């Protein structure tokens, strides 16, 4: 699994796609996800694609912002 299925038909440069892929792999590792076709990994990939569409460009920003949605713990 990668972010590619969620970024089809979108005007991302190759460098942006690479940043998205690296952020995805790093986020999945941090969350203990296999990074495959499991539902949670797909949600991470989708979120990273959404962030990139809003103008987030660096791997670090994509990684940290995507984790905000998945690491928040209810109090």
Portion of the chain with pLDDT greater than 90, in percent: 68
Mean local confidence (pLDDT), 35-41: 89
Domain parsing of the chain, residue ranges: 4-69
Q: Which residue has the higher pLDDT, 25 or 72?
A: 25
Query: First and final CA of the chain: distance in angstroms?
Result: 32
Q: Which of 25, 27, 30 is nearest to 4 (CA)?
A: 25
Q: Which residue has the higher pLDDT, 74 or 72?
A: 72
Res. 35: pLDDT tops 60: yes
Query: Which pLDDT score, from 0 to 100, does residue 75 have?
Result: 44
> Phi/psi class of residue 51: alpha, beta or left (left: φ > 0; alpha: ψ in -120 to 50)?
alpha
For residues 29 and 14, give the distance between their C-alpha atoms in angstroms, rounded to a whole number. 23
């Amino acid at each position: 699994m990668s972010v590619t299925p969620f970024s089809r038909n979108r005007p991302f440069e190759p460098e942006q796609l690479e940043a998205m892929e690296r952020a995805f792999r790093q986020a999945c590792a941090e969350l203990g996800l296999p990074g495959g076709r499991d539902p949670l990994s797909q949600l991470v990939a989708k979120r990273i694609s959404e962030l990139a569409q809003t103008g987030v460009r660096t791997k670090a920003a994509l990684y940290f912002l995507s984790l905000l949605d998945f690491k928040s713990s209810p109090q």
